[in-house]
Amino acid sequence: MQMTSWHAAIAVSGIAAGVALFCAPAAFARISLAVSIVVVATALVLPTPALVALAGRSRVTVLENIARSTPWELPALIHFFAFAWIALLVPLACQRCRRLRMASFLTALAVVAELIQGLAPGRTPRLTDIGVNLLGATTGFGLAVLIAQVKVGLGRDQQIRDRLP
């Protein structure tokens, strides 16, 4: 696969977002969380042909090829990574929230997001997708806890100790 300017932009954006999230600004995490939830909610109700048109057929083909090397189909991978990303942002955006509140929010979001698909033409909610959403959310939340522990270990954020599991 050839590196294009689109790939470079995505890579640079990902690195910049990671640095911004690691260095702290809860405001950045809150904005990212709000935008991410809107994007995911929109994608869940758009018909598949519209999503393919937005992303571009060639990009979808690349993603489908990547999905073939996993036990999951492309929609499941997208669900997993979308909810992992959202779950990564929740603890960073709401640093004063308790873990139970965050977990409840993520669980409700994973279930409601899937049920909303039943309202969209050509989309069907599936119990397995709720499971994939929850698995992604658990992975993202675990990664957020790991990031918090690393920050504490580096002496970057002593107040975060109270929120670690």
- pLDDT tens for each residue of 105-142: 999 999 998 888 888 777 888 899 999 999 999 999 99
Predicted confidence at residue 162, as pLDDT, reads: 52
pTM, two decimal places: 0.74
Contact 77, 70 (CB under 8 A): yes
* 151 vs 38: CA distance, rounded Å: 29
Predicted confidence at residue 138, as pLDDT, reads: 95
pLDDT > 70: what percent of the chain? 78
Instruction: Estimate the share of the chain in helix, then strand, then coil, as percent rounded to the nearest 5.
Output: 80, 0, 20
Mean pLDDT of 15-27: 62
Predicted confidence at residue 75, as pLDDT, reads: 87
- Please determine, for residue 159, whether its predicted confidence score (pLDDT) is greater than 60: no
pLDDT, tens digit, 9 for 90 and up, residues 90-103: 887 877 778 888 88
